Amino acid sequence: MFKNKINLPLPEGIKEKGEIEKLLGSPFFRLRFPPYLETTFRKFHLEHQKKLIVLSLALGFFLYMSFGILDFLVYKEFLLQLWFIRFALISPIILLSLLYIKGAKKEERVQWALSITLFLTGLSVVLFVIITSNDPSQKYYAGLVLVIFYLYVLLSLRFPYATIAGWTITLAYLLITIRFVKPAPDFLVANSFTLVIANIMGMAGNFFVEKTLRKNFLLTVLNLIEKEKLKELSHQDFLTGLANRRFFNRFLSREWARARRFSHPITLLMLDIDNFKEYNDRLGHQAGDECLKSISRILKDFGRRPADLVARYGGEEFAVILSGTDRKGGMKTARKIKERVSCLRIPHPGSSVSPFITVSIGVCCVIPGEGMKIEDFIGAADKALYTAKSKGKNRVDFQEILH
């Protein structure tokens, strides 16, 4: 997201660093992201903090149980009442909450389970205070302060849930104490003031913890974006932005296997810019690069389906994979590409075919069968391209796979 490697998906709609950097610079008091990002953060929080939550709750359970020793040593006259609440009511609730949280998949449910569990635990301590109210020292009052600090600082409750739990425990103490104990005003004021300060300090600590966690989450997302960009670059041709030769080979292998498995056609177009060497010689390599970019922009329009791919195959040569496309569809696409390139009307003073840039395209289409090889498929498309070139360029030719 605990695991050393967090399986955090890149949030949908986030592709650029600017949006994340803007959130990193947002007002300090803001503890909520836009909805599409908040959902991923909660998954991050659950994966990042779940182990810590389970360990903290287990520790809290142990401490809560151990205070049963205090019940026995100090308040033997109330032992049955105190132990009934502690061991018969609250301890099973904490255990059930612990088991529930270990298996929970939604962060919000974990937060609510923790909040309710801590509220009930705090409420039990309030009941201890009432039961032992004839003791002017109110020894269990310190336990109430411990519960409040525990829920804010140690339990990894997010800020809204911790705040609700902390203040409802404080409010329950005030209402129940006033109703059943009726302490002296100065005593009530002193205790109330301590609980209020404990909540304020706990909120501040909890706020800083969640703020840091959210910042770490945003930095993790930034890192993911960087990795995605690097991944894209490793698959892309630097000049044209199309897939590179290495990615073309991987993609074709995958689509070839799929076409064989499901017996559907796959078409390959091999495209070459006519007289491109002469174009570079006459106008220079910078003009040649701009020409390649212009043709690449056209080709991108023919590779928008998930199972299609446009790649720079090398130099002035391009390849187009059309999965699920038959011979007729492949030839139609090739002719459209040739026409679109001609419509660019890029001047070509060194062309033997036209005063403008043109392309020749070789096409091969097959339903892969047993014994057929990808190398033969590529070779057939390449041979079709060679034929188109030898017949005068600026044309489309088709070639069957020769067995």
* Tokens standing for residue 86: 């502690």
Q: What percentage of the chain has pLDDT greater than the value 90?
A: 63
Question: Does residue 197 share a domain with residue 71?
Answer: yes
Is 44 a member of any domain? yes
Q: Which pLDDT score is estimated for 3?
A: 37
Listed residues 229, 253, 275: the one ending a domain: 229
- The pTM assigned to this predicted structure is 0.61
Same domain, 277 and 384: yes
Confidence of residue 5 (pLDDT cuts 50, 70, 90): very low
Q: Using a pLDDT cut of 70, give the percent of the chain over it.
A: 93
Count Cβ atoms below 10 Å from residue 351 Cβ, excluding itself: 20
Verify that 205 and 82 share a domain, yes or no: yes
Q: 36 in a domain, yes or no? A: yes
Q: Are residues 322 and 204 in the same domain?
A: no
Tell me what the mean pLDDT of segment 207-216 comes to: 89
Residue 326, pLDDT score = 93
pLDDT in tens, 337-382: 999 999 999 999 988 889 999 999 999 999 998 888 999 999 999 9
Q: Model confidence at 4, in pLDDT bands (50, 70, 90)?
A: very low
Residue matched to tokens 């187009």: 320
d(CA 102, CA 364): 56
305 is a domain residue:
yes
User: Domain holding 370: CATH number?
Assistant: 3.30.70.270
Asked whether residue 173 falls in the same domain as residue 312, the answer is no
Question: Is 236 inside any structural domain?
Answer: no
Residues 308, 173, single domain; the answer is no
Confidence of residue 233 (pLDDT cuts 50, 70, 90): low
Say whether both 124 and 64 belong to one domain: yes
Residue 235 lies in a domain: no
Residues 331 and 363 in one domain: yes
In this structure, the answer to whether residues 252 and 393 fall within a common structural domain is: yes
pLDDT digits (tens, 9 = 90+) for 327-346: 999 999 999 999 999 999 99
30-39, pLDDT tens digit by residue?
A: 788 888 888 8
The parent domain of residue 89 ranges over 17-229
Query: What DSSP letter does each residue of 37-85 carry, written as one string?
Result: HHHHHHHHHHHHHHHHHHHHHHHHHHHHHHTHHHHHHH-GGGHHHHHII
SS3 171: helix
Print burial letters for 290-300: b (CB count within 10 Å at least 16), e (below 16).
ebbeebbebbe
Q: pLDDT value at position 25?
A: 77
| 196, 251: one domain | no
Please tell me whether residues 82 and 184 are part of one structural domain: yes
**Average pLDDT of 290-312?**
91
Output b/e per residue, 72-94; b: 16+ Cβ within 10 A.
eebbeeeeeebeebbeeebbeeb
- Residues 55-114: tens digit of each pLDDT: 999 999 999 999 999 999 999 999 999 999 999 999 999 999 999 999 998 999 999 999
In a domain, 157, yes or no: yes
**Residue that finishes a domain, picked among 195, 229, 263:** 229
Which one of 169, 204, 229 terminates a domain?
A: 229
pLDDT for the residue numbered 369: 87
> Is residue 306 a part of any domain in this protein?
yes
Structural domains in the chain (count): 2
Query: Does residue 234 fall inside a structural domain?
Result: no
* Residue 280 and residue 214 share a domain: no
Average pLDDT, the chain: 89
